[in-house]
Amino acid sequence: MPNAQRLPVPLNRILPIAMIINYFAPCAMLLSIFAIGLFPSLLHMIRNPKHVVSLRQWRKSFLDAAQPSLFASSDKLLSGVKQDLLNHAHGVVLEVGAGRGHTLKYYDLTKVTKVWAIEPDEESILALKREIVRIGMEGTCETLQCGIEDLETLRHFGIMDETVDTVVCVQSLCSIPKPRETMSNLYTLIKPAGGQLLLLEHVASKYAFTRIVQNLYTTLVWPYVTGGCELNRETEKWCIDTVDRAGDEATWTRAEINTIAGGWWNVFPHISGRLIKT
């Protein structure tokens, strides 16, 4: 009897399985953080034994070790989107959560006169400063180690209401505290009649079951391991429907927001957008 021919598995049976596997993408990322950060974290604890009993220090140690490779991978994946988006940046730029400086190389320095890179994390600030020197932006980019909610520090450096031409948020609004209040502050900082908000963020899914999965991750583990990141934030809605600091409704003359990888199976749908203030 001749050998039975093995037929290929139909594509329409493979795709749903592959899509469902995406629901476990956050688990894979958590495992990556653990695998990358384990040895450096153990080494850190040996050198700093008083940190052994601090869960916060363990988390920080794991993140400090894992972030460089995770951020580099994300930057490579989204480089085309970032280039198209940040080509619109002009004038005085305020970048929220500048991290390790992966966005800086995308700015067109013939359009940008100043970049205020806001970043609260000490380790990231050090990497950010190195990146500024590496790409030759010492005369254009200045770092501020503070949260974007720290209005007193911003004012100390001359960042007043209606003085910023471009606010940039790239994968940062997912973890800032009090996001709606922060959006109100950002809107107030933007110049009227042409000032703009550029954003690239992962957001809450529009699909009910995927939203449930996002809610579960966010409730059970995700923010505690990733430094406050939440998968289920309605960032698009909060940006468009924000108010200024006085409570008056925001007005945008133009609001272009595109969905990236927004399929029903994706736990990390992204939006890319440009909103121009009236």
Whether residue 135 is contained in a domain is answered as yes
**Is residue 15 very low, low, confident or very high in pLDDT (cuts 50, 70, 90)?**
low
Rounded to the nearest integer, the mean pLDDT of the chain is 91
Tell me whether residue 71 is exposed, middle or buried, using C-beta atoms within 10 angstroms of its C-beta: 0 to 12, 13 to 18, 19 or more. middle
**Is residue 20 very low, low, confident or very high in pLDDT (cuts 50, 70, 90)?**
confident
Query: What pLDDT sits at residue 7?
Result: 45
Domain co-membership, 194 together with 272: yes
Domain co-membership, 30 together with 120: no
Residue-wise DSSP of the chain: -PPPP-PPPPHHHHHHHHHHHGGGHHHHHHHHHHHHHHHHHHHHHHH-GGGTT-HHHHHHHHHHHHHHHHHHHHHHHTHHHHHHHHTT--EEEEEES-TTSTTGGGS-TTTEEEEEEE---HHHHHHHHHHHHHTT-TTTEEEE-S-TT-HHHHHHTT--TT-BSEEEEES-TTTSSSHHHHHHHHHHHBPTTT-EEEEEEE---SSHHHHHHHHHHHHHTHHHHHTS--TT--HHHHHHT-B-TTSPBP-EEEEEEEEES--TT-SS-EEEEEEEE-
Q: Token digits for 81? A: 């989107």
Tell me whether residue 38 is exposed, middle or buried, using C-beta atoms within 10 angstroms of its C-beta: 0 to 12, 13 to 18, 19 or more. middle
Encode pLDDT of 235-261 as tens digits.
999 999 998 888 889 899 999 999 988
For the domain that residue 134 is a member of, what is the CATH number? 3.40.50.150
Query: What pLDDT sits at residue 4?
Result: 45
Domain co-membership, 130 together with 230: yes
Q: What is the mean pLDDT of residues 142-165?
A: 95
Domain ranges, residue 134: 77-277
Encode pLDDT of 38-78 as tens digits.
999 999 999 999 999 998 899 989 999 998 898 999 999 99
Domain co-membership, 212 together with 181: yes
Whether residue 48 is contained in a domain is answered as yes
**Is residue 2 very low, low, confident or very high in pLDDT (cuts 50, 70, 90)?**
very low
CA distance 47 to 99: 26
Domain co-membership, 204 together with 124: yes
Query: Which of 74, 92, 124 finishes a domain?
Result: 74
Encode pLDDT of 258-277 as tens digits.
998 878 889 999 999 999 99
What is the pTM (predicted TM-score) of this model?
A: 0.89
Query: What pLDDT sits at residue 5?
Result: 47
Domain co-membership, 109 together with 51: no
Encode pLDDT of 175-231 as tens digits.
998 999 999 999 999 999 999 999 999 999 999 999 999 999 999 999 998 889 999
